[in-house]
Amino acid sequence: MSDPIIHMDSIKKHFGNVIALNGVTFDVRPGECHCLLGDNGAGKSTFIKTMSGVHKPTEGSINFEGKPLSFNSPRDAMEAGIATVFQDLAMIPLMSVTRNFFMGREPTKGRGPFKRFDLEAANQITMDEMRKMGINLRAPDQAVGTLSGGERQTVAIARAVYFGAKVLILDEPTSALGVRQTSNVLATIARVRSQGVGVVFISHNVRHALAVGDRFTVLNRGQTLGTAKKGEIDASELQDLMAGGQELAKLEGSLGGTV
Amino acid sequence: MASEMPASVDERIKAESFATRLMKRPELGAIGGVVLVTIFFLITASPAMFTLPGIVNFLTPAAQLGLLGIAAAMLMIGGEFDLSIGSMVAFAGMIFGVLVVNMDLPLALAIPMTMALAAAMGALNGFIVLRTGLPSFIVTLAFLFILRGASLVGLKIFTNGSTQLRGVREAVQGDWLAPLFAGDAFGGVFRWMAEMGWISKLRSGAPSVPGVPIEILWFIGFALLATYILLRTPWGNWIFATGGDKNAAQNSGVPVRRVKIALFMLTACAAALVAIITVIDSGSTDARRGFMKEFEAIITAVIGGCLLTGGYGSAIGAFFGAIIFGMVTIGLTYTTFDQDWFQVFLGGMLLLAVVFNNAIRKRVTGER
């Protein structure tokens, strides 16, 4: 297996006297999908914010492409190639897909006072990138507000990949989606992986994770409970780990294994 | 897994007709409004309204308001309001008058100095809004009073007790920059057209319209420039993004603070430009100048398709909004109606525009 793009070792993060992360070890290799599972409050958000440069770890080391690295801002992380798609997607419903796609990073043509937003090129790239992700836009000037939740997610992912993401962090990408939309997003993740991007998939839905993941790391009470490869672990074991082994076995029976 | 999934066309999406696409343009309402108002006055007003002198007559106030309205529209798209622009017209007018009359400065110095001071006040507005996180509505409402009061006090100080400062026309007479900000353009063309008998003449043989009032050219130029910036430059994209969702824009690397400050500076400079043009034109400045113009500018922007919530609108829309405004203000004098219907008419237009825009927004975003 290839070397990890990013390796985070024994990350600790304290907020005052609250210990949010207490020794988390996590890595992502190119072209793999590493799922980070955990229940609410397990520290998933704090961890991805540490990974994407929003927080600085209190203790622990981050190695990016083999070199130790410390991010001072989300911008640093973005420039290094760590893109995060948060739940709000950073999309503006009233603006067109193209304008959202290139928001803050508009291609220009012309010089000096005649430097202008190259809309033709931007439209073309947007259409192409979206087609690669399996979405045929009606028109690139279609407002994002008219897209479905899954399509918006796909725009956000396509945007991150187009702008050179090496690691793509997806924060609960399927939590608000229907069945069909979820399968579209999972297919998008598979496509992104095949381009050699390492995907960090954050979820508390074990079934979605098992559908795309190569490795699974469970976070509980700010600690990693170990990493398992695909095929080494099944849904109910993951579920139990997430809940810290509490009582879930009992619940599982009554819910018929569909949590 | 890596195989390309054929991108299918969703059979539930109907093809859009040309009419639907047109419906989605923010300026459509304003253009429709111009058509309606024109039809209304073609029926009710005396034919003199749509002769060349009549058109210049209603385009001149439209241009003065439009300069403010287009700037207000850009600021509204960026997600903020500026209620101080009306007072800024008086304030900038006072500063300009003092520089030209009391200090006897040439326009080449007085105009940049007035603009710079206005821009600084605009930046201050923006800075306070961003720093405190208060709604710009409240912050600029404070400046509405501060600047109006400062204009009154300032004028009294510089004129020894009067609220009017005269003598501007004499002071700028012969200044090489004056023709850019006052009078009429293309006078030669108009004289020639009058000689050819294409346009009406006065009894002396001079054309009844001496040329295009300079503010109309500024108005058209500003509308074109603003539209270009909004639709064809990265800055335009940043303005829409900033007004649409500040956090999303910030997270995507848009310099939200710089955009907002720049827009506040722009509205203040537009107010200063209107002040300079109108002060030179009338030869004097007074503390009531620009009174209520902040609301008229916002109405212009809203008729032009701007949403009060930001992130949507158009400069061309505001351009037509201002023309509607000019037509209604002046047009009523060509009819037998009582002129005071003007405000009723205006309120009605505003209400209609807001309802219309709201419906349009729902169509654009596909809200259900």
From the CA of B244, how many Å to the nearest CA of chain A?
Answer: 6
Cα distance between residue A153 and residue A185, in whole Å: 7
Cβ distance of A104 and B249 shorter than 8 Å: yes
> How far are the Cα atoms of A94, A155, A159, A162, B252 from residue A102, in angstroms, in the given order?
15, 11, 8, 10, 9
Cα distance between residue A31 and residue A167, in whole Å: 9
Least CB–CB distance from A146: residue in B4, B247, B365: B365
Cα distance between residue B303 and residue B195, in whole Å: 40
Give the number of C-alpha atoms closer than 13 A to the C-alpha of residue B140, restricted to the C-beta side: 28
Q: Which two tokens stand for residue A21?
A: 């992360």
Residue-level pLDDT at B134: 94
> Residue ranges of the domains in chain A?
6-90+168-255
Q: Which two tokens stand for residue B98?
A: 């003092």
pLDDT (tens place) for every residue of chain B, 368 residues total: 344 444 445 555 555 566 666 666 788 888 888 999 999 999 999 999 998 889 999 999 999 999 999 999 999 999 999 999 999 999 999 999 999 999 999 999 999 999 999 999 999 999 999 999 999 999 999 999 999 999 999 999 998 888 889 989 888 888 889 889 988 888 888 888 888 878 787 777 778 888 899 999 999 999 999 999 999 999 999 999 999 999 888 888 889 999 999 999 999 999 999 999 999 999 999 988 999 999 999 999 999 999 888 999 999 999 999 999 999 989 998 998 888 888 888 888 889 888 888 887 777 666 54
A113 close to B (CB below 8 A): no
Residue-level pLDDT at B2: 40
From the CA of A2, how many Å to the nearest CA of chain B?
Answer: 19
In a mutational test of the B interface, the residue from A79, A92, A130 whose CB has the highest number of chain B CBs within 10 Å is A92
| Domain-embedded: residue B7 | no
Residue ranges of chain A with per-residue pLDDT less than 70: 1, 244-259
Cα distance between residue B199 and residue B181, in whole Å: 25
B11 close to A (CB below 8 A): no
DSSP codes, B202-220: -TTSSBSS-SEEHHHHHHH
B236 close to A (CB below 8 A): yes
A94 close to B (CB below 8 A): yes
Cβ distance of A105 and B252 shorter than 8 Å: yes
Which amino acid, one-letter code, is at A56? K
Least CB–CB distance from B248: residue in A90, A131, A146: A90
Cβ distance of B5 and A187 shorter than 8 Å: yes
B22 close to A (CB below 8 A): no
Residue-level pLDDT at B90: 96
| Domain-embedded: residue B223 | yes
| Domain-embedded: residue B16 | no
pLDDT digits (tens, 9 = 90+) for A141-171: 888 888 888 888 889 989 988 988 899 999 8
Residue found by looking up tokens 């829309």 in the block: B317
Residues 33-92 of A with CB under 8 A from B: 74-75, 78, 86, 88-92
B363 close to A (CB below 8 A): no
The CATH number of the domain where B311 resides is what? 1.10.3470
User: Containing domain of residue B186, as a range?
Assistant: 28-365
Cα distance between residue A156 and residue A192, in whole Å: 12
From the CA of B159, how many Å to the nearest CA of chain A?
Answer: 43
Which amino acid, one-letter code, is at A150? G
Cα distance between residue B280 and residue B178, in whole Å: 8
Residue-level pLDDT at B7: 45
A235 close to B (CB below 8 A): no
Contacts of B6 in chain A (CB under 8 A): 134
Least CB–CB distance from A117: residue in B233, B252, B366: B233
A244 close to B (CB below 8 A): no
* Closest chain A residue by Cα to residue B312: A94
Q: What domain count does chain B have? A: 1
| Domain-embedded: residue B20 | no
H helices present in chain B, as ranges: 18-23, 28-44, 52-77, 85-97, 107-132, 136-159, 168-172, 178-181, 187-195, 214-232, 234-244, 246-251, 256-282, 293-303, 315-331, 341-365
Cβ distance of B238 and A104 shorter than 8 Å: yes
From the CA of A136, how many Å to the nearest CA of chain B?
Answer: 6
The residue ranges of DSSP E strands in chain A, in sequence order, are 6-15, 18-28, 33-38, 59-64, 67-68, 82-85, 108-109, 116-117, 167-171, 198-203, 215-220, 223-229
Give the number of C-alpha atoms closer than 13 A to the C-alpha of residue B124, restricted to the C-beta side: 14
Residue-level pLDDT at B3: 40
In a mutational test of the B interface, the residue from A88, A95, A132, A193 whose CB has the highest number of chain B CBs within 10 Å is A95
Residue-level pLDDT at B367: 54
The interface predicted TM-score (ipTM) is: 0.83
Domain A6-90+168-255 fold is Rossmann fold (3.40.50)
Give the number of C-alpha atoms closer than 13 A to the C-alpha of residue A237, restricted to the C-beta side: 13
A114 close to B (CB below 8 A): no
From the CA of B44, how many Å to the nearest CA of chain A?
Answer: 40
pTM of the model: 0.86
Least CB–CB distance from A116: residue in B233, B240, B361: B233
CB A61 within 8 A of CB A68: yes
* Residue B219 CB burial class (10 angstroms; 0-12, 13-18, ≥19): buried
Residue-level pLDDT at A258: 52
